[in-house]
Structure formats: structure tokens, C-alpha cells
Amino acid sequence: MPSFRSAASQAAYAVRALAAHGQPRHGNAGDGKIHSLGTERNYEQALKGAAEFIQARKLGDLRGLTRETAIAYLEARSQEVGQKTLDLDRQAMQAVLGGGKLPVVKSELDQELASRAYTPAQTRIVADAQSPRHRLATQIAANAGLRAHELITLRPVADRPADTHRTFRADRFAGRGDVAVYTVKGKGGLCREVALDRALADRLETVRLPEPRTVYDRGIRHQQHYDIGGGKQWTDSFSKAAQRELGWSEGAHGLRHSYAQTRMDTLQGSGRNYEDALAIVSQEMGHFRADITEVYLR
């Protein structure tokens, strides 16, 4: 039965169960216990956020934390905090889970500060230097502004509708022309609609798998329905091809910068003001926070 205690109370209780004050750290490294008051305070704050995430989604309480829920929380948090805070959240939840390592989720904020957009010509050069399945993935990622793992999760919207707990704008994909709508599983497990140019969607459908296959990317299990690249294998392929052909690489994540900047130009060019265009692009990219999307526009 889920707890009706506040998130703060759940976090405090969890930390008390992990506390081992008075026991020396030497010889106890890796025991999953908290040996200092500083760590106790940090873990309590981290676990309060996790408990709030669980409560908001009606997933029970912190005592019933699962690996899947922990990863979903880290993915959601990766859009809001830097890598240091994200790593602390991961360590705190690992302690609660009592064994096993959670995958390292990269802070999207930190990535945005480091990455830059590619021009359409540069994207074509890189894609042409990749294998066919990775080439198609690069073209799709650039066309829809997808994250690496989202490529693995592509499905037609008729097969898997978007989540309904978010309010989506009706004017998403304005100015995109003839498109086919798919859904992907994004950060925090959010299922949202994305649009592909019709010709590209037609090519994607030629590589639909007879049966979905299970794919593990960075320790996370996905069901893949198309024979295209995605996840770490695809990002590695993209970076190597960029280094070979361009002499440099900003990583595959730079394609999301390209998408954001192109979409802003299109929407503002059609007469929309900056704030309205930014709100649309934010939802298309799965952010729902304009301040995060603005970092892509640098």
C-alpha cells in the first residue's frame, strides 16, 4: 500500500534507514550506507525530488522505487539540472535500491552548452559516409529533431498514441508541409508526437521489422520496430563519420540544435512572434520548457 506521507517525510525516512554514522568509511566503501552528515543532507534532498516524481505520476511511494522509475526520473531531471546534481540523484537512488548500478544519464543542459548546429550540407556529408541503416537514422533525427534513443522507439501514431497527461498545442508542425506523424518515447518516458516528411516516412516504412525486437541502449530496454540505427551505436557512427568527413564533430546531438534553429526560422518567417515560435519548437522537441529550448538557438 503506498504511503500517504509527504515526499520530504519519505526521503527523511529512507535516509535514516541508510545512515551509518560512527562507522568508519575505511573498509566500508561501497556498502551503500551513508557515513557523513553532508551526504545525508544531499541524499535527502535528492530523494525528496524522486518521491515527488513518483507521487505526481501515481506510481506508489519511495519504498517501492524500481530501476525503471529511477531511470525515468533521471531522464526527466536531465533537462533541468547539471551533471553533478544528476549524478548525486543517481547515487542516492542506487542506495535506496540496495544493489546494482543505474546507468549514467547525461545532463541535457550540459550537452547543450557544448554542442552546436550542423548546416544541411554538413549533415548530408556525414550521412553519406554512414552505413545505410545509420544514414537513414541521421536523416530522420535531423528531420524530426530526435534524441539518439528516441530513434529506437519510433512507432506510427496509429499504433501508439501520445500521452494524454500533457497538453499539446494543436499548431505543432505548422509549416512542415506533407508529413507523417509518429510517436517516440522521450525523456522521463514521455510519449510525444513527432513529424517526418512524407518521403522520409515512406523510406522508413520499407525497413519496418516483421516483429519488434528488444534493444538495450545504455542499460535501458527498448522495443524497436524499424531496422534503423539509434542510441549509442548510432551516435558513435555519426561522430566517427563527422571526424572523417568534416575533420571535427559536435556529436549527433548537434542535429537537435539544427532542427530547433531551422524550425524557429520557418515559424518566424511565416509571421509568428518569437515567444509563440519558441513554445511550438519546445513541444516538438519534447521540452515543454522554453528556457531549455533557447539554449539550442545559440
CATH code of 261's domain: 1.10.443.10
CB proximity list for 251: less than 8 A, separation 6 or greater: 111, 115, 235, 238, 239
pLDDT at res. 3: 57
Is the same domain home to 103 and 125?
Answer: no
User: What is the model's pTM?
Assistant: 0.74
pLDDT at res. 24: 46
Is the same domain home to 151 and 249?
Answer: yes
Is the same domain home to 33 and 50?
Answer: yes
Is the same domain home to 52 and 71?
Answer: yes
Taking a C-beta distance cutoff of 8 angstroms, is the pair 202, 178 a contact?
no
Segment 225-238 mean pLDDT: 97
CB proximity list for 69: less than 8 A, separation 6 or greater: 53, 54, 59
pLDDT higher than 60, residue 200: yes
Is the same domain home to 72 and 96?
Answer: yes
CB proximity list for 25: less than 8 A, separation 6 or greater: 35, 36
Indicate the length of the chain as a whole number: 298
Segment 275-287 mean pLDDT: 95
Higher pLDDT, 32 or 263: 263
Residue 2 inside a domain? The answer is: no
Residue 1 inside a domain? The answer is: no
Q: How many percent of the chain have pLDDT more than 90? A: 67
Higher pLDDT, 86 or 288: 86
Residues 76-102 pLDDT 10s: 888 788 899 999 999 999 999 987 789
Please choose, from the candidates 245, 70, 222, 254, the residue with its C-alpha nearest in 3D space to the C-alpha of residue 152: 222
Q: Of the candidates 74, 109, 144, which is a domain's last residue?
A: 109
Residue 155 inside a domain? The answer is: yes
Is the same domain home to 68 and 169?
Answer: no
Write out the residue range of the structural domain in which residue 227 sits: 115-295
Report residue 26's pLDDT band, with 50, 70 and 90 as the boundaries. Answer: very low
pLDDT at res. 109: 67
